[in-house]
Amino acid sequence: MTILVAGGTGLAGSAIVRELGRVNKKVIGISSNEVNLLDRAKTFSYIKDLKPNVIIDAAAKVGGVGSNNAFPVEFLSQNLQIQSNLMDAAHEAKVEKFVFLGSSCIYPRNCAQPIKEDYLLTGELEQTNSAYAVAKIAGIELIKSYRKEYGHSWISVMPTNLYGPNDNFDLENSHVLPALIRKFIEAKRSNSPEVVLWGSGTPLREFLHVDDLAKAILVCLDKYDDSQQINIGSGDEISIKDLGQKIANLTGFTGKIVWDSNRPDGTPRKVLDSTKINKLDWKPSITLDQGIAATVEWYQENK
């Protein structure tokens, strides 16, 4: 059996490739360097020639609050193209199983907490990343549509905020946790007296190490077959202010933390209800302290 991981060099994709290799599965990870998934003809040709049994779609244009808010056309258009090209090509090649990775930002901004799968499309989205969220919602709907019209055993999984090795640490377009790691490490190295962070620090977020996500994906491949998306989260939440202090401590930064309230906060609170996947005998094994410490070490060695 051949498993193709699209986006195989990114944060989530590389972790999934590692985990599949660990359990001795035949896995091929591709990036845009091998196949440009925005090119429909090339995507169809590649999938037709490879004939994988399973496709895991971890390919996407991703970024933090700032880049999502600044470039909504790219986040909507490119993600729609990537996922539809890949799914349509998989259908033509008769791919048995397809796993679509979405994002917890698909849920309404002011959602009841913890967020159940049933809460999708029950309220307005967070405007700073609504374009990306709409693209991911469209991906979920396309999975459902292929199941309904053709009987495919395809699924959608919705991970919470991810972090770990091979993350994007660019200060302009990364997510909050890797951005904080880089800021505090650079501030410590340069002996800066303070670090300026975005927003008020009050939003609450849930974080999951990508190695735990990879294990959850394998569980879903074996045990989940339903049209509704399934949440994958840690169940623990932390304020951005406390997260900043935690990362400061773990990187050895002892200066002052200043909050720039002119920058956006994003959704005020976001923690997933992961009851469904917990019932499939999956729970995360890496604590936030362990995961951040390992990611700090990886960054220092690789960046």
Catalytic residue among 132, 146, 163, 224: 132
Q: What is the DSSP string of 136-196?
A: HHHHHHHHHHHHHHH--EEEEEEE-EEESTT----TTTS-HHHHHHHHHHHHHHTT-SEEE
Task: Specify the amino acid at residue 301.
Answer: E
Residue 7 is which amino acid?
Answer: G
Q: Which class for 192: exposed (0-12), middle (13-18), buried (19 or more C-beta within 10 A)? A: middle
**Contact between residue 122 and residue 263 where contact means Cβ atoms under 8 Å apart:** no
**What kind and span of H or E run contains 204?**
strand 204-209
Q: Which residues contact 149 (CB under 8 A, 6 or more apart)?
A: none
Using CB atoms within 10 A of its CB, is residue 113 exposed (0-12), middle (13-18) or buried (19+)? middle
Strands 237-239 and 204-209, sheet pairing: antiparallel
Q: Which residues pair with 4 in a beta bridge?
A: 28, 55
Whether 299 sits among the annotated catalytic residues: the reply is no
Q: How deeply is 281 buried, as exposed, middle or buried, from its count of CB atoms within 10 A (0-12, 13-18, 19+)?
A: exposed
What is the token pair recorded at 65? 């609050």
**Angstrom distance (rounded) from CA 137 to CA 108:** 11
Q: Single out the residue of 291, 267, 283 nearest to residue 113, CA to CA.
A: 267
Q: Which residues are catalytic?
A: 132
